[in-house]
Structure 1
Amino acid sequence: MTETATPRRTFSLRSRWSVPVAVAALVAGAFIAPPLIASAGDHGLPPVTPEALLAQVAAAQPTALSGTVVYTARLGLPEIPFASAGGADPIVLLGGSSTMRVWSDGAEKSRVALLGATSEYSVVRDGAQAWTYSSADDAVVHYALSAADAARYDKLSGDLRATTESPTAGALPTPEDAARAALAHADKTSVVTLDAQTTVAGRDAYQLVVTPRSENTLVAKIVVAIDAVTSTPLRVQAWSTQDTKAPALELGFTDVRFATPDAAVLAFSAPAGATVKDVVVPLPDESAMAGTAAKPTPGALPDGVSVTGTGWATVVTLAHVDVASLVAGDPAALTGALGTKPTIGSESAQGLIQEFGPSDGKGPGDKFKLDTSALYQQLTTQVPEGRLLSSALLSVLVTTDGRVLVGAVPAETLRGMA
């Protein structure tokens, strides 16, 4: 898509997809709940229990598809002026509706394109490498493994396929076992029912409804529509206790086709004239991949981190946070709270952190020309305890003494804990 004359804006690549990732987490979270009510088969679909439906999802093979997805956020956040200029900067996902096109071969190749009125932002994956492209900046970032790590990745992938096809795989838990375990695990925090069967993107679907048992949470329910034929989630809705008329977050197909996309769609080619930046992403050390790396004592938390409450009413508190540096976009600001340097799987990952971390005393906000301080002021309000971000699904309180309290609970709960 060719950019027309619009204000030039940039945004940190580290946080471009934080909101979609949060929505994906809602999908995963929706698959952890206990069986209670069976479907009445009101759309002609066979009756099914939540446990059986989850087993079908667990047993389903990845499916090739292409389609259009609409994402809508009604979080009750203040309008962000520079997020409404018609561009495809993912910051627009904080409010309003956005359209995305998705393609996948059901294996290791996929493309997602966030469409704006005047630009496009794309993420393309091919196995262990990926590309991002912003037409607004005419910039490409290529993420790939080193040659040694790429060879190790190929070997690990081959070993996994061999294990999956081996007769000994029968010793692994069945989908039914996995479904029962997931349901039993969440029995103390959630209740699951099946809502009326529905149609999404022209396809019949079951609706799984996850309702928190706690009354001290902003989340009223999570509703997942699951394709009756492929067991693919077609739509996810997160409802808030603050609004019973419309979901606070909604991500769903408006059209979908279950067929392998054309190879040209899944192949990435940098547009002529675009700047290209290569980033080497480290593969975790073998000990970490095998799960043999040193692990913290179960239940132990880093100094400065505390957890209050359980389930949906959980509140996490970080103490000793350098709030000014954090607002400036410096990830090292959390070091004081976590009591350690940030790592992402191996020592070699530090180079990647430094790539996107601060340099010369400046944070990514300076590097990518995003006024993070202005964004912080825009999204939060002054309260006696500090500054408060209050949304339909999440509350964040930054206190004057350098603590950060986060939870899917009412703002009054955090203020009372401060």
Structure 2
Amino acid sequence: MARYESDDNSGAEDTGALRSGRRKAARYGVPVAVVGVAAVTIGLVPALADSGDPSLPKITAQQLIEKIAQSDVEQLSGTVKVSTDLGLPNLGGLESSLASGVAPSESGSSADPTSKLTELAAGTHTLRVAVDGEDRQKLSLMESAAEYSLIHNGKDVWGFDSKSNEVYHGTVGQDGADHEDEVPSTPKDFADEALKSVDDTTSVTVDGTMRVAGRDAYKLLVKPKQSGTTVGAISIAVDAKNGMPLKFTLTPASGGAAVVDAGFTQVSFAKPAASTFDFTPPKGAKVTEGDKSAEGAKSSSGGIKSFEGPGAKSGHDPAKGSEDHKVLGKGWNSIAVIDTGTQGGVPSGSSGGDPGGFLGSLGDQVSGKFGKGMVFSTRLVNALVTDDGKMYVGAVTKDALVKAANSGQ
């Protein structure tokens, strides 16, 4: 289907207009690349779109981005189907932690969302979501003969694992602390992260229409202009009426199945029943109390709060790095550099604490002006760990990581 509008074909005037539109939607800042999107990556979900493409009024890419940014959806319920195809080996659940970058729960509770929701980084999953404003959200991860639910109701945040009959309880701080360290779980979450990458290194077009979960939607196509990135294209289905992203698909530059795809199979924008967010620990359940401070509540929310995206209100520019890392490059080719402070690189034998060289078997040894190191690869995010203790991470190719390390920065 023909595209409605392309930044590549509309010249400098429309490019300037798109930038102006982005300024109006200030929450979309330049990212550290697409690493934020890859915190939890979701794979191919087939047959989410209904048959037949709807006929809708024409809209420009700028207008569609603004429509997403200005979407005021505060109430919804529905089912989201997600899965993951990072191309990682089956490591008995370890791949989920590696992909998400989230450390195992310190509480030891199977109901703690900081570890439970990392399961979204591998396999196929069905989620039921419900939202009623900023103070009430519920996300349920449906499993075989079991269910995990994460509920935010007022100041209380509850996690419940029906398989183990364990409950995790946290409390949101009275200062209204933002939940910045969230696990993306809906098309909106992923779209917010991806649209942070829209700058002059990006081509943005409206690529026709489609039907998702019975709703008419526009297709926004986001493609890097740069070579060297592992991201091929991102497609976002945007509700034609209210601007809510209904489906998100990220395909790799290497081709093949999508790396990231999350889509509603059913959705309603009616107000959920108040009882949806009620929770009382079942009789006999083991209850673990989390950190009740505002800081602790940030992690205990686990990602069900907010359809605004991490960092939306923080004012922090990730492209500038932070105290513990810096950023090389621009746009989709951005690479985060972290000094781990550990000399010797990745152990490759039993004397190094890695019996049989297990970690070494998962990566490729490389060398250059920087010395020696090892590259660990997925279909989206790659990481180079050098023998002098530095780590280079980004949604870029192995060659790009080696080049960055050779720069001596």
Q: Shorter chain as normaliser: what TM range?
A: 0.5 to 0.7
C-alpha distance in 1, partners of 2:328/2:62?
30
Partner of 2:270: 259
Greater RCO (Cα-Cα under 8 Å, separation 6 or more): 2
Q: Report how many residues are paired.
A: 300
Partner of 2:222: 210
Q: 1:138-190 CA deviation, whole Å, 9 max, x = no partner?
A: 22111114xxx52x549x9xxxxxxxxxxxxxxxxxxxxxxxxx999944121
Change (3 A) 1:232 1:95: same
Q: 1:265-290 CA deviation, whole Å, 9 max, x = no partner?
A: 22122122111122234337xxxxxx
C-alpha distance in 2, partners of 1:292/1:104?
22
* Alignment pair present for 1:305 and 2:325: yes
Partner of 2:157: 130
After superposition, where does 1:263-274 map in structure 2 within 5 Å? 263-274=274-285
What displacement does 1:239 show?
1.2
Partner of 1:113: 140
C-alpha distance in 1, partners of 2:196/2:85?
32
Amino acid at match of 2:243: S
C-alpha distance in 1, partners of 2:197/2:81?
32
Q: 1:7-60 CA deviation, whole Å, 9 max, x = no partner?
A: xxxxxxxxxxxxx97469999xxxxxxxxxxxxx96221111122222223333
* Alignment pair present for 1:412 and 2:399: yes
Partner of 1:381: 363
C-alpha distance in 2, partners of 1:217/1:387?
19
Amino acid at match of 1:411: K
C-alpha distance in 2, partners of 1:250/1:238?
6
- SS of corresponding position for 1:124: strand
C-alpha distance in 2, partners of 1:46/1:83?
47
In our comparison, the structure showing a higher alpha carbon Rg is 1
What displacement does 1:407 show?
0.6
Change (3 A) 1:404 1:118: farther
Q: 1:229-249 CA deviation, whole Å, 9 max, x = no partner?
A: 221110111111011x43211
Q: TM-score, normalised by structure 2?
A: 0.63
Query: What residue ranges of structure 1 are gaps of 5+ in the alignment?
Result: 1-19, 28-40, 157-181, 285-290, 328-371
- SS of corresponding position for 1:197: strand
* Alignment pair present for 1:249 and 2:263: no
Partner of 2:341: 321
- SS of corresponding position for 1:104: strand
- SS of corresponding position for 1:253: strand
Asked if the contact 1:105/1:261 (under 8 Å) is kept, the reply is yes
Partner of 2:63: 52
Q: Which of 86, 95, 103 is residue 75 of structure 1 equivalent to?
A: 86
What displacement does 1:110 show?
1.1
C-alpha distance in 1, partners of 2:239/2:76?
13
Change (3 A) 1:134 1:389: farther
Change (3 A) 1:324 1:128: farther
Partner of 1:196: 208
C-alpha distance in 2, partners of 1:106/1:292?
20
Q: Which of 120, 129, 132 is residue 102 of structure 1 equivalent to?
A: 129
Query: What residue ranges of structure 2 are gaps of 5+ in the alignment?
Result: 1-34, 43-51, 96-109, 179-193, 296-312, 348-353, 367-371
Asked if the contact 2:201/2:226 (under 8 Å) is kept, the reply is yes
Q: Which of 237, 242, 249 is residue 237 of structure 1 equivalent to?
A: 249
Superposed CA RMSD in Å reads 4.1
Partner of 2:120: 93
User: 1 or 2, which has the higher helix percentage?
Assistant: 1
Partner of 1:4: none
- SS of corresponding position for 1:81: coil
Asked if the contact 1:79/1:95 (under 8 Å) is kept, the reply is no
Change (3 A) 1:185 1:217: closer
Asked if the contact 1:63/1:230 (under 8 Å) is kept, the reply is no
C-alpha distance in 2, partners of 1:263/1:324?
55
Change (3 A) 1:105 1:24: farther
C-alpha distance in 1, partners of 2:322/2:257?
37
Partner of 1:63: 74
